[in-house]
Amino acid sequence: MASFAYAVAHTLVYVFKKQDLLLIVQEAAEPWLWAGWLALLAFIPLAVTSTDAAVRALRQWWKPLHRLVYVAAVLVFVHWALSAFDPLIAYLNIAVLAALEAVRVGLQLSQRASRRSR
């Protein structure tokens, strides 16, 4: 939910700063903007289904739906890297986050393997 709130705030700031619908539409063809808009769209179903009621209603479908967060994260990173004034900083931050995610996935896989061997 926090990511969605940040994405909406970021979008509102962008629209407020541009204050020109024609300019926003013209820029919409840029890859960095497409990545941002697609990430925002990916966050919408996640935000809408982030309540306890949604978890109960969706049951086994909630978790697969919320794996969409990984797609949104990649799109956010693409948006960030393509729109950054200094892409090196974006790439370094993305590398750190990717390394942390790799460690998380590695730990999950090792835990699954140890559970299976019992």
Amino acid identity of 45?
P
Q: Quick count: other Cβ atoms within 10 Å of Cβ 77?
A: 18
Question: What is the 3 state secondary structure string of 69-109?
Answer: HHHHHHHHHHHHHHHCCCHHHHHHHHHHHHHHHHHHHHHHH
Residues 7-40: tens digit of each pLDDT: 999 999 999 999 998 988 888 889 999 999 999 9
Give the C-alpha separation, 33 to 72, whole Å: 14
Quote the tokens at residue 59.
Answer: 């049951």
Q: Quick check: pTM over 0.85?
A: no
Query: What residue ranges do the domains of the chain occupy?
Result: 2-83, 85-118
Report the Cα 117 to chain-centroid distance in Å: 35
pLDDT digits (tens, 9 = 90+) for 42-101: 999 999 999 999 999 999 999 999 999 999 999 998 999 998 888 898 889 889 989 999
Q: How far is CA 37 from CA 29, 30, 70, 84, 109, in A?
A: 11, 11, 15, 16, 33
CA–CA gap between residue 52 and residue 8 (Å, rounded): 22
